[in-house]
Structure 1
């Protein structure tokens, strides 16, 4: 498949008051769980723009979705890797669909389950005209692993735009975070569908949530 040129969007490195307020307004609206899907034949169609969150098992997707949406339990949080075994769809009424993909890379998952989840995720992602962007979550203590790179290769193959979000940033010091950012940016530069920015987040102290909300609101409003 022919690669497409790198996309460019206005930088949100310096957020205005209006950017922050627009993000807060969007995610303060009513959000509800729409459905969970385990079978690729049951995937819904959507007339709303979609964003999807992906990453390794236990990377912090559910916690991030809860904090992003000012909720405590809209997405089920578990300390047990591999707990999310379906694609979960949430909806901000008439505005945005938020999609939580099953975590990948959990060693104790059976080969059959891995194959089924892989096919489910692939079917959802490929040729999905409603999908605006995949946010790929990376644990700051792990960095980008081989399984993450494989997923990035898949997204590149099908020209799916993705952006990296670093989670649990409160677990490392500032110097380590800067080294990690440099490493991620270097890897990002080899992908044409990687959005050229890295967002640092923490679900414990809410770092990066205002920036992420503001960026998403610019995409859909």
Structure 2
């Protein structure tokens, strides 16, 4: 966690995320991926876990990433350029059972091809609902990322929907479940896009990665 800050004090992450951020590309197929540029941070997770909401909250823009109450709305890799310093990638939600098998296969192929072959992809932020924990589709993605030795970090979402004691107990449980995973970052971030919880911590984490180049 970040150290204590004075009221109103901006961190490097807060300063970075106040810069211009804009949509630059969407890809439904690997051949549609934009040219590689600044380092990329991808946001992955089950459908309706809050990926687009978190991207919007981090950047302070309500409609940068499309948010829907209907799971499965994000059906492509969406790339957002943050002032030429960092690219945020909103990935299709995994584990959504109501789309056809062919669509699930397409998404799986797209995600696997992206994480395997994107040299400037520095980390995957794996979003997990604070109430429900890991599902089979999350485990499958972690297995994939471990196999490719691609760094990923668990981000708990919707923290405002869980009582503090239960939230901390869940965090410890989720932490225990990733301790032996070789590519998992050892720190879990706790967030709520709705209540603004943990946004500075996520911004600072991404700013540090951006500074490392």
Q: Where does structure 1 lack aligned partners over 5 or more consecutive residues?
A: 1-11
Deviation of residue 199 (structure 1)? Answer: 0.6
2:66 to 67, 76, 79: 76
Quick one: distance in 2 between partners of 1:205 and 1:156? 32
**DSSP-derived class of the 1:204 partner:** coil
Q: Counterpart in 2 of 1:36? A: 26
Deviation of residue 91 (structure 1)? Answer: 0.2
Deviation of residue 161 (structure 1)? Answer: 0.3
Query: Do structure 1's residue 14 and structure 2's residue 8 form an aligned pair?
Result: no
Q: Counterpart in 2 of 1:145? A: 135
Tell me which moved more, 108-117 or 179-188.
179-188
Q: Residues 185 and 24 from structure 1, CA distance in 2 versus in 1: closer, same or farther, beyond 3 angstroms?
A: same
Quick one: distance in 1 between partners of 2:36 and 2:118? 10
Q: Counterpart in 1 of 2:51? A: 61
Q: What TM-score, normalized by structure 1, do the two folds share?
A: 0.91
Q: Where does structure 2 lack aligned partners over 5 or more consecutive residues?
A: none
Higher RCO (Cα < 8 Å, 6 or more apart) = 1
Quick one: distance in 2 between partners of 1:70 and 1:167? 17
**DSSP-derived class of the 2:25 partner:** strand
Q: Counterpart in 1 of 2:75? A: 85
Deviation of residue 13 (structure 1)? Answer: 4.4
Query: Do structure 1's residue 182 and structure 2's residue 172 form an aligned pair?
Result: yes
- Superposition RMSD in Å: 1.3
Answer yes or no: is the 8 Å Cα contact 2:26–2:32 preserved in 1. no
Quick one: distance in 1 between partners of 2:80 and 2:63? 12
Q: How many residues align?
A: 209
Q: What TM-score, normalized by structure 2, do the two folds share?
A: 0.94
Q: Counterpart in 2 of 1:156? A: 146
Q: Counterpart in 2 of 1:193? A: 183
